[in-house]
């Protein structure tokens, strides 16, 4: 388990924080660890009026020269302060060490059958820092060492051999902050234009900088899932669509985003056992555009795919009051909201989720979570926002989106970085749940849905949505004869992102 770190040591070695009593609430554990304190508990800060101040230049200097183990803890602390400051929350507790993260990943691998690695991507002024933490290996894995490496040319290009279970740190000088931020914005701009196929260049450059240096370690450790903890300016890129010149990243690994490991409840409970509440708004309300595929989406998800475990609310029924009423009567492990969500620049109160008769602003979400007990055992396993979008180039919007699981007190959030078309969202969501009921793993189910779209197995005709060559769903009149769309373009599938618990 974790240890409580000396806050004074953190202060000296990491960042300039005026009040070093502010730390991060631990949420990590495996399935047997059910004694964690409420991860949404807030410290009584009535007399603590000052806000922590982060000196990024000091952090960059200390982080860049710190030993790898210390750098991991510094990254965890930095992310905690950054998210806590933006979310307006005094988080406290314990920081995960690199060794503890590796141990937890090893335990999760035993439970899920999938090897996950955490990748810290930190954009320093003069270079990019990559730290990869694989699962702690078993003895048999240590004996095999580099036998898992598929591409031997990658091994030959390394200065030292790849060791199974070793934490890897790499620096990429070409990817200094100015360069990588420029390419990241270019990639996001091009991949969101469905008529543009020129995204390959920036997608490949980001792959070269972020993935290629640690790919030998990914292969040697037989990694199935890459879980990213990303720095400012990089949290809104669709990592699934990074490209190696031949394949997208999603063709090799499932992916997920975490604010930090310490801020993520990684405990594995098969989500297929969860009841679902699906709420949706198909008509225009409060100036929002209509979403005509929503009735089919929520009915298919809750009644056909999740069968008797589902309940639906549509349009006028999709009110905050009804959500509260139903949540008090029954525990729902999955909350599926097929409605507009908007993560905007500026204060957290600028961002919102649309209900029928009102918006709930993201700064109000924590109180709602506490009122309804989302973070209490058994926790809400997953919140799904199927029609949200994140402002381009906004650090605040990125923090709001990637910190949503922390703010909502749920284990994971599935959302989209930009609003995808009605048909594209319908295709992704139905295929995602179709996979989820089979394997009960979140990021892997999302990967399979994305691959099915990329390979043309999930497609939309004039009258039907095909989830496979053998399985189709009739489209409602509003979506009939809208013309053929090419769901293989990453615009349609790469926006969807699993945040928080990926298991």
> Do 79 and 178 share a domain, yes or no?
no
CATH number at residue 131: 3.30.420
Calpha distance 58→60 (Å, rounded): 5
In a domain, 245, yes or no: yes
pLDDT digits (tens, 9 = 90+) for 370-399: 999 999 999 999 999 999 999 988 999 999
Residue 339 sits in which domain range? Answer: 271-500
pLDDT digits (tens, 9 = 90+) for 301-313: 998 888 767 899 9
The 10 Å CB-count burial string (b at 16+, else e) for 464-475 is: ebbbeeeeebeb
In a domain, 2, yes or no: no
> Do 494 and 382 share a domain, yes or no?
yes
> Do 227 and 331 share a domain, yes or no?
no
In a domain, 1, yes or no: no
Chosen domain end from 82, 99, 116: 99
> Do 253 and 162 share a domain, yes or no?
yes
DSSP, res 357: S
Calpha distance 233→248 (Å, rounded): 21
> Do 178 and 134 share a domain, yes or no?
yes
Three-state SS letters, 152-208: HHHHHCCCCCCCCCCCEEEEEHHHCHHHHHHHHHHHHHHHCCCCCCCCHHHHHHHHH
In a domain, 263, yes or no: no
CATH number at residue 292: 3.40.50
DSSP, res 102: H
> Do 219 and 277 share a domain, yes or no?
no
What pLDDT was estimated at residue 52? 59
In a domain, 348, yes or no: yes
Chosen domain end from 84, 99, 114: 99
In this prediction the pTM is: 0.89
> Do 81 and 140 share a domain, yes or no?
no
Residues of the chain with pLDDT under 50: 1-49, 155-156
What pLDDT was estimated at residue 308? 61
In a domain, 262, yes or no: no
> Do 181 and 109 share a domain, yes or no?
yes
CB 108, CB 195: distance < 8 Å: no
β-bridge partners, 464: 474
> Do 83 and 125 share a domain, yes or no?
no
pLDDT digits (tens, 9 = 90+) for 401-455: 999 999 999 999 999 999 998 889 999 999 999 999 999 999 999 999 999 999 9
Number of domains comprising the chain: 3
> Do 319 and 185 share a domain, yes or no?
no
What pLDDT was estimated at residue 28? 38
> Do 330 and 457 share a domain, yes or no?
yes
In a domain, 181, yes or no: yes
What pLDDT was estimated at residue 145? 57
In a domain, 265, yes or no: no
What pLDDT was estimated at residue 150? 58
> Do 75 and 166 share a domain, yes or no?
no
């Amino acid at each position: 388990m974790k240890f409580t770190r000396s806050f004074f040591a953190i202060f000296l070695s990491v960042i300039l924080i005026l009040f070093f009593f502010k730390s991060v609430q631990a949420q990590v554990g495996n399935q047997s660890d059910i004694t964690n304190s409420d991860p949404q508990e807030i410290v009584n800060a009535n007399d603590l009026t000052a806000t922590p101040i982060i000196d990024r230049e000091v952090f960059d200097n200390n982080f860049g020269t710190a030993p790898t183990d210390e750098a991991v803890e510094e990254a965890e602390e930095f992310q905690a302060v950054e998210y806590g400051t933006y979310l307006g929350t005094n988080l406290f507790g314990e920081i995960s060490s690199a060794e503890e993260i590796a141990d937890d990943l090893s335990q999760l691998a035993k439970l899920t059958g999938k090897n996950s690695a955490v990748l810290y991507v930190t954009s320093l002024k003069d270079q990019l820092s990559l730290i990869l933490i694989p699962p702690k290996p078993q003895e048999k894995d240590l004996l095999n060492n580099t036998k898992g490496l598929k591409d031997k040319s990658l091994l030959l290009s390394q200065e030292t051999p790849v060791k199974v279970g070793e934490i890897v740190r790499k620096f990429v000088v070409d990817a200094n902050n100015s360069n990588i931020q420029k390419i990241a914005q270019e990639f996001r701009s091009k991949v969101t234009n469905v008529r543009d196929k020129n995204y390959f260049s920036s997608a490949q450059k980001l792959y070269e900088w972020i993935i290629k240096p640690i790919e030998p370690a990914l292969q040697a450790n037989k990694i199935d899932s890459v879980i990213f903890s990303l720095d400012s300016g990089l949290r809104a890129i669709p990592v699934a669509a990074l490209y190696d010149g031949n394949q997208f990243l999603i063709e090799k690994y499932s992916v997920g985003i975490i604010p930090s490991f310490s801020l993520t409840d990684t405990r594995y409970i098969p989500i297929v056992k969860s009841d679902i509440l699906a709420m949706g708004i198909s008509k225009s309300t409060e100036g929002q555009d209509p979403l005509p595929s929503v009735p089919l989406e929520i009915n298919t998800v809750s009644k056909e795919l999740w069968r008797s475990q589902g309940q639906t609310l549509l349009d006028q029924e999709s009110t905050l009051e009804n959500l509260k009423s139903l949540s008090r009567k029954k525990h729902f492990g999955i909350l599926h909201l097929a409605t507009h969500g908007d993560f905007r620049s500026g204060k957290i109160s600028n961002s919102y989720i649309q209900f029928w008769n009102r918006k709930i602003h993201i700064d109000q979400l924590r109180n709602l979570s506490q009122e309804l007990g989302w973070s209490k055992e058994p926790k809400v396993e997953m919140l799904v926002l199927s029609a949200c979008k994140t402002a381009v180039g906004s650090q605040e919007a990125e923090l709001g989106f990637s910190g949503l699981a922390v703010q909502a007190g749920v284990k994971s959030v599935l959302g989209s970085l930009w609003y995808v078309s009605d048909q594209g969202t319908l295709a992704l969501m139905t295929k995602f749940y179709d996979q989820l009921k089979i394997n009960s793993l979140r990021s892997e189910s999302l990967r399979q849905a994305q691959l099915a779209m990329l390979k043309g197995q999930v497609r939309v005709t004039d009258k039907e949505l095909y989830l496979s060559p053998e399985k189709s769903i009739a489209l409602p009149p509003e979506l009939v004869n809208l013309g053929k769309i090419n769901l293989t373009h990453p615009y349609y599938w790469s926006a969807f992102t699993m945040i928080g618990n990926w298991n």
